Chains A and B, each alone.
Chain A
Amino acid sequence: MSVLSANWTAFFYLVAAVCFILALKGLSSPGTARRGNLIGAGGAVLAVVTAFLSEDMDHVLAILVAIAIGCAIGVPAARRVAMTQMPQLVALFNGVGGAAAALVAALELQHGRSFGWTDYLPGSQGHALLGAPGGIASAAGAFTVLVGCISFSGSCVTFAKLQELMTTRPVTIRGGQYLFGGSLLVSVALSIVIVVQGRTDIPDAWLLAVLALFSLVAGVLFVLPVGGADVPIVISLLNAFTGLTVAASGYVLNNTLLLVAGTLVGASGTILTRLMASAMGRSVTSILFGAFRPSTAVL
């Protein structure tokens, strides 16, 4: 028996969502930025406590241990990092968030706990589709795996660039754009297969794994051609991507808080990416694909 009723759960999720809006609002002006961040952290704690109390759960102890491990990794990393190395740490945090979203969506598609969409699909007659995620939920799930993996591997490459583990200059492989396009195309094709399968059955696990693999490759190829000075803008873009994946996983899980918080980050991250690019006098497309132009020196 869960402690919180569905209504109270929804109410606390709403409060947490309002905290996130106030956090973003506060963070956009110097006087209120720090308070805004604290409000955001408060909203996050409320959300996590609410999640624990909202449902009957197994493995509670293991989850608490996992959270403790996450804190033990995250807090010292954030505390000890040098000021100049903060952007790459943010990139890394963003990447693991994307990976977490991909894992969550893949797991949810596999065991189908609560597919809220099933009842609303056209053609779902009674129990015919029960236990299947349904077309829209599988589409959202496949999107989460695809973009979450791109965000993860892309963020790892930006980390390597900023940490100078690899060259900060644009890396262009011969035919790199075709490889990128190809891996993206394969990922989209696999997603379509997952959606088709998801309409009537639980999608195969190996399909999700192969999708993740191709998306990881696409993420690496996406970020490689970007030069060192432009990397922060790509981090911001990947941040917006991860926001959207969290929103999509909110669809899959039928969870309003994930949907709202993810959409907020996706939307504000997109605007922020454009603002950052225009502050540098560049356009986002020239940053991402400029290295493929003939005028740029190829390694």
Chain B
Amino acid sequence: MDGMTMLALFVLAAFVGFEVVSKVSTTLHTPLMSGANAIHGVILVGAILVTGQTTSWFGTTLGLLAVVLATVNMVGGFVVTDRMLEMFKGRSSGRPGGGAR
């Protein structure tokens, strides 16, 4: 892809990132951090693509290590975020009319 197109994507994505979390409520700081953490686990895509092209056994080993680490980041991240939010739901269900359910 063209270098300038990549730069444009970077700048626009940065603005979206700034904008989308600017009004987060204080209680959701930790789950949001955890959710964002899970999203950067998408490096798994990069790990898969790189490992699929390696030729040396050393490179393949490192690539597979990256796949394991990225999977832990992504899968674990989403699961732990869900558990945090489950806890929130339990707390807010005591309040009448609280929560989305």
Contacts and interface: CB of A to CB of B under 8 A. Distances in A.
Interface in A244-266: 246-247, 249-251, 253-266
B2 A104 contact: no
Nearest to B36: A265
Contact of B48 (A48, A77, A113): A48
A254 B21 contact: no
A90 B33 contact: yes
B3 A117 contact: yes
Contact of B99 (A31, A52, A110, A258): A31
Contact of B44 (A48, A86, A279): A48
Contact of A37 (B25, B43, B54, B85): B85
Contact of A94 (B15, B62, B73): B73
Interface string A28-49: 1111111111101100100110
B69 A103 contact: yes
A236 interface: yes
A101 B50 CA distance: 11
Nearest to B13: A263
Nearest to A121: B3
A44 B74 contact: yes
Given A79-B83, A97-B40, A107-B66, A51 B49 contact: yes
B33 A28 contact: no
A75 B75 contact: yes
A93 interface: yes
Nearest to B44: A48
Classify the interface of chain B: helix, strand, loop or mixed. Answer: helix
B17 interface: yes
Interface stretch (A164-172, A188-196, A268-276): A268-276
B1 A256 contact: yes
Interface stretch (A61-69, A174-182, A217-225, A281-289): A61-69
B86 to A, nearest CB: 7
B52 A59 contact: yes
A53 to B, nearest CB: 11
Interface residues of B, number: 81
Contact of B25 (A29, A93, A265, A270): A29
A263 B80 contact: no
Given A261-B40, A268-B36, A63 B100 contact: no
A21 interface: yes
A44 B52 contact: no
Report which residue of B27, B78, B84 has the largest number of chain A beta carbons within 10 angstroms of its beta carbon: B78
A58 B54 contact: yes
A62 B60 contact: yes
A275 B80 contact: no
Contacts of B23: 28-29
Given A63-B51, A279-B29, A261 B62 contact: no
A96 interface: yes
B92 A30 contact: yes
Given A250-B46, A256-B1, A23 B70 contact: no
A58 B53 contact: yes
A104 B76 CA distance: 20
A262 B20 CA distance: 14
B78 A37 contact: yes
B83 A107 contact: no
Nearest to B56: A111
A267 B75 contact: no
18 contacts: A27-B35, A33-B28, A40-B35, A44-B44, A51-B49, A58-B54, A67-B67, A67-B68, A93-B77, A93-B80, A96-B72, A107-B66, A246-B42, A249-B43, A250-B46, A251-B6, A258-B45, A276-B33
